Amino acid sequence: MGKWLRKDAPAAILFLIPSGVGFAMFYLIPFVLGIFYSFMDSTLDGQFVGLDNYKELMASSSFRKAASNTFYFSLISVPLLIVVSLALAFLLNKSVYLRKWLRTAYVMPLVVPVASIILIWQMLFDWNGSLNAWLSQFGIARVDWMKTDSARIVIIIVYLWKNIGYNVILFLAGLQQIPTDYYETAQIEGAGRIRQFRSITLVYLTSTMFFVVMMSIINSFKVFRETYLIAGDYPHDSIYMLQHYMNNMFMSLDIQKLTAAAALMFCCILLIVMGMFALERRHRQFME
């Protein structure tokens, strides 16, 4: 086996070189340069200023607002997404009417271009849109969804719509790996549904749950595209996210603040991911 690996190693390296070069050119090198520029006062012949850019960033009210909105959005939307997608996975794991069609319907948001669907969301939540027309029929006052605090509700709905199918697929795969004999044995021993869910389902869904939570948190930081297409460059204060701030810094060519904000956002996501892996490792050790 060792001789075979050594023999095929040059061929494997040759196949990996194009991907490695592309990854380095478009991801790794720009990321390293961004970290470097975040400690400089200019991108051309700049001087090293240490943490001055980060201090200025933390003193910015716009950045603090964007950061607080982003974390608040993740705090609300991620648990809601996990609960709803797990409930739907339970439903689709049973013999329900039109189960195959429902599975396909939940996967559709993953393949439909977001830019084309945004037009429907705009028509739905506009001041003269369909939702306000339905509300007026019941005597409910119209709501300016995208120019009030209700904009956060709209973005949460769009986030759920976009990501729920992916989570449902993962939860379904995890549920189908649990032997049905465990549930039958638990029923014979008198365990109720809540006890079965806590002692069987959650235990065997732990690895899937950690991965789904991690991906949901990462995707919550990437909600900028939908928000930007619906509300534009400067949305309502309640949905002004970190990526809005970075996009505005890019438009004004304030590269130092842009790279510093991107570095802080990367550090936050990295800490969250490392924390999730640490929790999963401790849970695995506890179960063993």
Does residue 171 or residue 1 have the better pLDDT?
A: 171
Going 143 to 146 to 152 to 158, the CA torsion angle's sign is: positive
Rg of the Cα atoms in the chain: 24
Q: Is the pLDDT of residue 88 over 60?
A: yes
Q: Average pLDDT, stretch 209-221? A: 88
Q: How far apart are CA 128 and CA 108, in angstroms?
A: 27
Q: How far apart are CA 233 and CA 213, in angstroms?
A: 29
User: In this predicted structure, what is the pLDDT of residue 283?
Assistant: 73
CB count within 10 Å of CB 263 equals 19
User: In this predicted structure, what is the pLDDT of residue 1?
Assistant: 53
* E-only strand ranges, 152-254: none
Cβ contact 57:66 at 8 Å:
no
CB count within 10 Å of CB 112 equals 11
CATH number for the domain running over 61-287: 1.10.3720.10
Q: Write down the domain spans for the chain.
A: 61-287
Report the predicted TM-score, pTM, of the whole model to 2 decimal places: 0.81
Per-residue confidence at 174, pLDDT binned at 50, 70, 90?
A: confident
CB count within 10 Å of CB 60 equals 16
